[in-house]
Structures are given as C-alpha cells and as structure tokens.
Amino acid sequence: MSRVKILNAAADVFSTHGYQRASMDEIAMQANVAKGTLYYHFSGKAQLFQTLVTEGMSELVAKIRSDLNTDVTLEEQIKRIVQHHLDLYLDNGALARIVFYELSNGLEDEVLENIQQIHQEYIRFLTEVLEMGRAEGMLRSVNSRLAAVGIIGMIEHVCAEFLTEGEHLVREQLEEVIITIVTSGLIRKVE
C-alpha cells in the first residue's frame, strides 16, 4: 500500500515539477510516508522515476496481451491497442506528462537505457501483432516495425495535444482519428 501511495505521489511531483526539480522529500510528504519508508521501497529518485515509467508501460503491454488473446480481426486488435494506449495516458495524465516531457531531461544513462528497453519491448510486441496480420494477408506490405513505431508516435503526440489543448477535444475523437488513419493505411480491404 505504501508503495502505491509513493508511486502516485511521485507521478504527481514529477509531472508538476519535472525530474530535476522534484525531491524525495516532497514525494514522501505528498505520499504521507516517512522518508525511511520511501527509501525502503526505492533507493533514490532515479530508481523511483524508472519504476514509475517502466511499470506503466508494462501494465499497458499486459492489458493489451490479455485483451488480444481472444480471436479477433487485425482491425479489432489495432482498435484495442489504441484504446488501451489512450487509456494509459489519458487516465494517468501525470504519467503521460512524465513520458512526453521528462524522458530527455537529464536522466541518468542507466535509467534511460532501462526505460528504452521497455519501450523497445512494446515496439516488438506491436510489430509481432502487425506481422501476424501480414502473414494472414490482412496487412499491406509495409515494414511492420516502422508501422509500429509510427502508431506509437501518433498515439503519443495526439495524447500530448489532448493534454495541452484538451478543452477543445473529446477523447472519442482522438480514438476515431487514430484508428481511422492506422486501419485505412495498413489494412488491406477485402473485395
């Protein structure tokens, strides 16, 4: 329970103040835990930040994997991937701001490498989904890895726009635009 409180507080502090200006003292205070409890769970700010980002991405992949275990079309798989990715960022605005704005903000090399590793695992997973679609003749003949990177980039940029200009946008519009662009560009139309 303390760990969850710490992670939630850290997300708020990192997204509000940025990685460099965030302090372990402030995170402990916001989580309403003693500093000893904070350091019991996390050795320092870098490990806390890394855990926050990697667990968020791991949660996303786990949700998508479990949802795709059913027998659905490639178009439905893409729709579910987009929905889960949007859910992760739009339901966790603090995590989204961290991913969008803090990953290049003076983080230690080891932390960046670990975050990049989980990001690359997500790209590989999405590439595999697209490759299966291509093997079934559902996907156009495109580089699946580049398509996966493009899908992720589009989702993240659209989410960033929503978080900064959200009062003019509706979540369903984001989903519809992304799914329409991705499916019309990648999926072969059966005639």
Stronger pLDDT, 60 or 46, i.e. the higher one: 46
Of residues 115, 124, 121, the one with CA closest to residue 95: 115
Of residues 61, 89, 78, 63, the one with CA closest to residue 159: 89
- Per-residue pLDDT, averaged over 34-56, amounts to 87
| Token output for 157 | 């940029």
Contact at 8 Å (CB) between 41 and 2? yes
Three-state SS at 143: coil
Token match 């989702």: residue? 155
Rounded to 5 degrees, what are φ and ψ at 26? -65, -40
Q: Is the dihedral of CA 84, 90, 93, 97 positive or negative?
A: positive
Query: In the predicted model, what is the mean pLDDT of the chain?
Result: 84
Exposure string over 100-115, b if 16+ CB within 10 A, otherwise e:
bebbeeebeeebeebb
Say yes or no to pLDDT of 136 above 70: yes
Could you read off the pLDDT of 73-132 as tens digits, one per residue?
888 888 888 888 888 778 777 777 777 766 666 667 787 788 788 889 889 989 998 998
Rounded to 5 degrees, what are φ and ψ at 139? -105, 140
What's residue 72's pLDDT?
Answer: 80
Say yes or no to pLDDT of 165 above 80: no
d(CA 186, CA 145): 12
